[in-house]
Structure 1
Amino acid sequence: MTTCAPSRANILASAAPMPRAAPLISATFPASLMSPPIAGHVWPGVLSYRRNVRRKDTTMANPSRPSRVYVGVGSFTSGKRPGIFRRVGDGGWEQLTKGLPEATKVQAITVDPTNPDIIYIGTHDGPYRSKNGGDSWERLALPESGLQVWSVLVHPSDPRRIYAGTSPVGVFRSDDGGDTWRRLPKAILPERVKMGFACRVMRLAADPARPETIWAGLEVGGIMKTDDGGETWTDCTADLVKLADRPHLKSRIVSDTEIEGMLDIHAVALTRANPGVPYAAIRMGLFQSTDGGARWRDMEVGRFSPLTYGRDIRVSPQDPRVLYACLSPAARSQDGSLYRSDDVGETWTRFDHGVKAETTMMAVALHPTDADRVYCVSRTGQVFGTEDGGRSWREHRLPDGVEDIYALACA
């Protein structure tokens, strides 16, 4: 393991726990109670949201090519079995169970960009694959047992090459579409924070301008990257630790150190419009690096949104300048939102007009060929969809009792 910056072991060794409670709480923020923005800043996304509220549409667009939306459920409160659900066009939700064990917790869903019938899912029981759009599944055996899969990446230049990120932390690679796997032995980071759960690789993202460069975001552990397809890895976390010295970027919920929030990585994305620059959705907001991970910049999304907990970030498949981000008050909250940037993250506006998430917004999914089709999902199963570029939205709620949603995809 190499590092993107000089070692900060001395800083970590001297870090002492702070006595105050974590700054993040689960709460709802009605407009009437919202704190005013920082002097000189405005929240144009909020203003845009108020100006452009539209009634929910009652029909789905383009019925000749209906979207297939997939949602991964981690748990139910009502005793129902978790798993993966599919909705086709205006149809209802159906649970896809053939070939999956009982109570499969689905934590990642990735559709092969070259063949929408091929889908990979990450579960608490390892990776699974479908070759028929989810009608049936087959288990893909990793060489080690007892690993949960939290992320799956299909290599952008070679759809037969698949990466799987696990908990406990590991990255596995397949060169035959998932039939066989090998562990990438150097894909690991030092433990900087002790949590009540094993650290996990939440997102794997390839640089479209240089596909052999792959970034990995760890919850709660930091960020690492490889420039050679996974054979060697570089620790890109040191500056995130340094940023946690700033008062507004300190956060601890489980551990005894306030660097915890800056190491709580949920998603990483890269775009051809800004080659080599990773964008990260972190507990403390949205961040980017322009020097390969040596230094990170706070994108200050709080200038545009009252909600800054970053859960997901994606790049439009049709326009590399367009980014989408899921923003909420906290990991478990009573609010959530979807924001869009048309200038590679410089400015943001509220995109999910006229809908109300009752819990944290967990994921966004973008149709691979139709830029007008965008979907997002809340933690407890509200799936919101637009098929006309955000002018109208519909809510497609999952069955009652959904407790934890981790994954969303569409084809």
Structure 2
Amino acid sequence: MLINRAWYRYVLGMTLLCLLLLSLGGCASGSGLLGGGNWQANGLQDTQLRVLAVNPNDPQQIYAGDEQGRVFISANAGQQWQERSSGLPLPAALYALSLDNAGKRLYAATEKGLFVSTDAAQHWQRLSPTSDLPATSYTALFFTPGTTAQTIYVGTVKQGIFSSTDGGTTWHAASGGLPQGAGVNSLAFDPGLHQLWAATTSGIYRSVDKGASWRAFMNGLPANITINAIQTAASSGGTQGLLYIGTNQGLYRSQDAGAHWQRGETPLVGSNIRTILVDFRSGSSGTVYIGSDLGALRSDDQGQNWQSVASGLPKGVTVYALALGATDYAQLYAAADKLYLFPGIGGMSDPKRIVPLVLILFFFYLLLRMTTRTRRRPRSPAPKQPPVTSR
């Protein structure tokens, strides 16, 4: 009986330990019993969100922009939002929203011009067109690394690329070698190789002289492909020369600075990739997220294989933008008309997490009762010895 009771206590203890380890392990990845393990819709519901930006000085400060050109700000990692569109030409499609590296100036690329705010989007001012900055539709924004002497690059729908080294006061054309009338969808930079990349309506182009001249890199890409986005792994601390492009025919990657392009082991053929986010939180930056008409996908092997980030997004929803924010950049944000957060907040109230937690507490209770009963059980009195009589 003692052996059976001890074995029972051992089984209960090991079961409890395993359940606790599983739940704590899941918490580390944001999918455990004590954390929200799926996407959760946020407060911006009646919108058609297209772009996101996070303040590098305060990742709790999140910006979002919608298809009509409205800009919203949250100072508490997406819990509450305020619209801040004063000075923007509404309605006007908003194609890009980005803070400079110092986090002081917020730029908006719209179909009706280029705008800037220096007071956290409370007021917007148009960067007045000049002979070097035309009045046109602006589609892409990029800032070279560093908080001093950084260069701003902006892409347009038909007039190429322009750059500024003084915060947008003066501009210079940076389109030498780009096809006439090519629209610029995305810009990226490899800081180690000093290569500037442009995803255009005419293909992928690279410049090694700050935009003075460009050269096409299309080896391995099919004809008539639409390239929506480009991202370098090195910009987030990853491998130099490793690039990703999102297209209307899936995701392609290059490991030799664009000399050759190929699909990964999971080709994603037929999917339309809208945005690419390399996870900068790890040193190797092997984790990559993409937003597509398949939802939000994740790869942990530099884009070779892909899987859904989590459940919770509506079926058929297109993810247009992704961003990391909140304390320690622990939250992943997705602009998919509405705004979605992963892991969702308030995960403890999810019934799927309450039931396993109750089971854990129940096992703990049983173990405690068994241990207590065993400890308090009185010992059987020793048998009396017959009295010794003297003869």
Return the TM-score normalized by structure 2. 0.67
> Map of 1:59-208 to 2, 5 A cutoff?
67-75=60-68, 82-89=69-76, 91-115=79-103, 117-142=104-129, 143-157=132-146, 158=148, 160-189=150-179, 199-208=182-191
2:378 maps to 1:385: no
Equivalent position to 2:195, from 213, 226, 234: 213
Per-residue deviation, 1:324: 0.7
Alignment of 1:186-335 (within 5 A): 186-189=176-179, 199-210=182-193, 212-218=194-200, 220-240=201-221, 244=222, 259-260=223-224, 262=225, 264-272=226-234, 273-302=238-267, 308-319=271-282, 320-328=285-293
Kept in 2, the 8 Å contact 1:106–1:121? The answer is: yes
Larger radius of gyration: 2
Higher relative contact order (CA 8 A, sep 6+): 1
Once the two structures are superposed, what CA deviation does each residue of 1:335-382 show, in whole Å capped at 9, x if it has no partner? x4111222222222211332325532211112397331211112xx21
Residues 51 and 169 of structure 1: is their aligned pair in 2 closer, same or farther, counting only changes over 3 Å?
farther
Q: Does 1:346 align with 2:339?
A: no
Deviates more, 1:164-173 or 1:137-146: 137-146
Displacement of 1:151 in angstroms is 0.6
Please state whether the residue corresponding to 1:370 is helix, strand or coil: helix
Helix, strand or coil: the match of 1:301?
Answer: coil
Contact kept, 8 Å, 1:285 with 1:300, in 2: the verdict is: no
Cα distance, 1:179–1:368 mapped onto 2, change above 3 Å: farther
Give the secondary-structure state (helix, strand or coil) at the position aligned to 1:165: strand
Residue 362 of structure 1 is matched in structure 2 by 320
Residue of structure 1 equivalent to 2:12: none
Offset at 1:179? 1.5
How many corresponding residue pairs?
297
Give the Cα–Cα distance (whole angstroms) in 2 for the partners of residues 205 and 54 of structure 1: 31
Unaligned runs of 5+ in 1: 1-49, 76-81, 191-197, 245-258, 329-335, 395-411
Q: What TM-score comes out, normalization by structure 1 length? A: 0.64
Contact 2:137 2:156 in 1 (8 A): yes
Change in 2 beyond 3 A, CA 1:159/1:342: farther
Q: Decide whether aligned partners of structure 1 residues 375 and 209 sit closer, same or farther in structure 2, where only a CA change above 3 A counts.
A: same
The one-character-per-residue Cα deviations of 1:116-150 (angstroms, maximum 9, x if unpaired) are: x4211101122111112211112223424332111
Q: Deviations over 1:35-82 (max 9, x none)?
A: xxxxxxxxxxxxxxx99994666999xxxx77333222234xxxxxx4
Offset at residue 285 of structure 1 (A): 0.6
Quickly say closer, same or farther: Cα 1:180–1:344, change in 2 above 3 A: same
Structure 2: give runs of 5+ residues left out of the alignment: 1-30, 44-57, 351-391
SS class of match (1:178) = coil
Matched residue, 2:363: none
Deviates most, 224-233 or 88-97: 88-97
Distance change (3 Å), C-alpha of 1:393 and 1:277: farther
C-alpha change, 1:59 and 1:393, in structure 2 (3 Å) is: farther
